C-alpha cells in the first residue's frame, strides 16, 4: 500500500511546501534577482539611481560601438552638430546641445556660448570656463560627445575615376581628396580648380606636375563644402604632311612637346617639307603667332624640343619636289614589268 494512503496528511503538507517555495522565487524575481540575461546589454549598462537628483541615472547606458570618422582628429564644430554634454558629479547639467546657425550652443544657467570652429576639447574648455566664471560650479569637468554630425561634403568633378559628392567633415589636402575620388584619369591635365564655399575665400587654380617632388597638391587645402574640378588636358593639332593628322590630348599631366606630338601622329610622311615646319600659337589677346620650327636641329639634339600649349597647331607643309619625285617613283613602280623566277 502507498505511503500516501497511509499518511494522507503528508501529501497535503508537501503541496503546501511547494506553493510556499514558488511564492518565494516569484518574490525574489520581482526584487530584481531574476535569471541572468544571455546576450544583449550586460548588467553594467544599467546605471545606479543617484539620490537627491529626482531619480536621474548616474551615467548613460552604453551605446553600440561605431566607426570613428577618418578626419575626426581635425574635426571642427559647425552649425548643425548635436552635442551631448555631461558634467562630472553634476548630472543635472547633462543636456543635448544643438549648434545653431550663429555657431552658438545654449547651456543651461549660462546662456549662449560660441563653439563653431572649435574642437571638442576646445568647446568643452569654453563651457567649463563659463560655468566657473559664473560661479555656478567650482572647477567643473565638462565632457562633450558628438551625437549627430552636420551634413558636409565636397564635390569632385572632371577627370577623376569616381566623380561625385563625398563626405568630408574636416579639411583635407588636395591629394587625399583626389585619391578618395579614385584618382585622375589618363586625360587629366595639370590644372585643378577649387571653388570654396566660403564667400570670403577666393577661387584657387592649382597647376602641378607629375614630378614626385612636386608638393603643391599636398600643400593645397580643401574645405568641407568646396568643389574640386580636375580639368581635362588640352588638345594640340598636328596637320599637314604627317601619317595620321588630327587632334591629340596632352596626356602625361598635360605636358607635351613637339617631338612627342609628331610621334602621336605617326611621324612625318615622305612628302613632308620638315625644314618649313611651323608652330601656330594662339595668344591671350586672340592674335595668332607663327613660329619656325628648327626640326633638323631638334632631331640632332642641338635644340630642345619646344613645349606645346593647349590649342597649338603643328603644320608640316608638303614638299613639291618630294611630291613630284614620289609620284614619279610610284608611277614607275606601277608600270614596271614583273618578272618571274622561272
Query: Of how many residues is the chain composed?
Result: 342
Reading the chain (342 residues) residue by residue, the pLDDT tens digits are 454 454 455 454 545 545 555 454 454 444 444 444 433 333 334 444 443 444 444 445 444 445 556 666 667 888 888 899 999 988 888 899 999 988 899 998 889 999 988 888 899 999 999 999 988 888 899 999 888 877 678 999 999 999 999 888 777 888 889 998 999 888 888 889 999 877 666 788 888 776 667 788 888 888 888 899 998 888 899 999 999 999 988 865 567 889 999 999 999 988 889 889 999 998 888 889 999 999 999 999 999 999 888 889 999 999 877 666 655 544 554 555 544 444
Short-list 246, 233, 201, 248, CA closest to 220: 201
List of domains in the chain:
72-148 (3.30.1950.10), 153-232 (3.10.560.10), 235-323 (3.10.560.10)
Contact 178, 228 (CB under 8 A): yes
pLDDT of residue 71: 60
pLDDT of residue 66: 52
CB burial string 296-319: b at 16+ within 10 A, e below: eebeeeeeebbebebebbbbbbeb
Q: How far apart are CA 122 and CA 194, in angstroms?
A: 29
Overall pTM surpassing 0.85 (yes/no): no
Residue 113 CA: distances (Å) to CA of 116, 120, 127, 221: 9, 13, 7, 28
Q: How far apart are CA 201 and CA 316, in angstroms?
A: 47
Q: How far apart are CA 265 and CA 267, in angstroms?
A: 5
pLDDT of residue 3: 45
Q: How far apart are CA 96 and CA 123, in angstroms?
A: 14
Q: In whole angstroms, how large is the CA radius of gyration of the chain?
A: 40
Q: How far apart are CA 342 and CA 340, in angstroms?
A: 6
Amino acid at each position: 500500500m502507498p505511503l500516501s494512503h497511509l499518511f494522507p496528511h503528508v501529501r497535503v503538507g508537501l503541496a503546501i511546501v511547494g506553493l510556499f517555495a514558488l511564492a518565494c522565487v516569484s518574490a525574489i524575481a520581482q526584487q530584481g534577482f531574476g535569471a541572468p540575461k544571455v546576450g544583449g546589454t550586460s548588467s553594467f549598462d544599467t546605471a545606479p539611481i543617484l539620490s537627491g537628483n529626482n531619480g536621474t541615472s548616474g551615467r548613460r547606458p552604453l551605446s553600440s560601438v561605431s566607426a570613428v570618422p577618418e578626419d575626426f582628429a581635425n574635426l571642427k564644430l559647425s552649425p548643425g552638430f548635436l552635442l551631448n554634454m555631461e558634467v562630472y558629479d553634476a548630472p543635472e547639467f547633462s543636456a543635448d546641445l544643438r549648434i545653431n546657425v550663429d555657431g552658438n550652443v545654449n547651456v543651461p544657467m549660462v546662456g549662449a556660448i560660441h563653439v563653431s570652429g572649435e574642437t571638442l576639447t576646445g568647446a568643452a574648455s569654453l563651457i567649463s570656463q563659463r560655468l566657473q566664471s559664473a560661479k555656478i560650479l567650482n572647477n567643473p569637468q565638462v565632457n562633450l560627445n558628438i551625437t549627430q554630425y552636420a551634413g558636409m561634403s565636397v564635390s569632385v568633378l572632371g577627370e577623376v575615376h569616381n566623380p561625385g559628392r563625398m563626405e568630408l567633415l574636416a579639411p583635407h589636402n588636395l591629394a587625399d581628396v583626389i585619391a578618395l575620388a579614385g584618382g585622375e584619369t589618363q586625360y587629366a591635365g595639370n590644372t585643378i580648380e577649387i571653388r570654396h564655399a566660403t564667400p570670403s575665400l577666393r577661387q584657387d587654380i592649382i597647376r602641378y606636375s607629375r614630378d614626385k617632388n612636386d608638393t603643391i597638391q599636398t600643400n593645397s587645402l580643401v574645405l568641407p563644402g568646396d568643389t574640386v574640378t580636375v580639368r581635362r588636358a588640352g588638345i594640340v593639332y598636328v596637320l599637314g604632311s604627317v601619317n595620321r593628322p588630327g587632334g591629340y590630348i596632352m596626356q602625361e599631366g598635360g605636358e607635351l612637346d613637339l617631338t612627342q606630338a609628331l610621334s602621336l601622329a605617326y611621324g612625318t610622311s615622305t612628302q613632308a617639307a620638315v625644314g618649313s615646319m611651323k608652330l601656330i600659337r594662339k595668344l591671350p589677346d586672340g592674335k595668332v603667332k607663327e613660329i619656325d620650327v628648327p626640326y633638323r636641329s631638334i632631331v640632332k639634339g642641338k635644340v630642345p624640343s619646344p613645349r606645346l600649349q593647349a590649342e597649338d597647331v603643328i603644320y608640316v607643309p608638303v614638299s613639291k619636289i618630294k611630291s613630284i619625285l614620289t609620284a614619279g617613283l610610284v608611277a614607275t613602280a606601277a608600270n614596271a614589268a614583273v618578272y618571274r623566277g622561272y
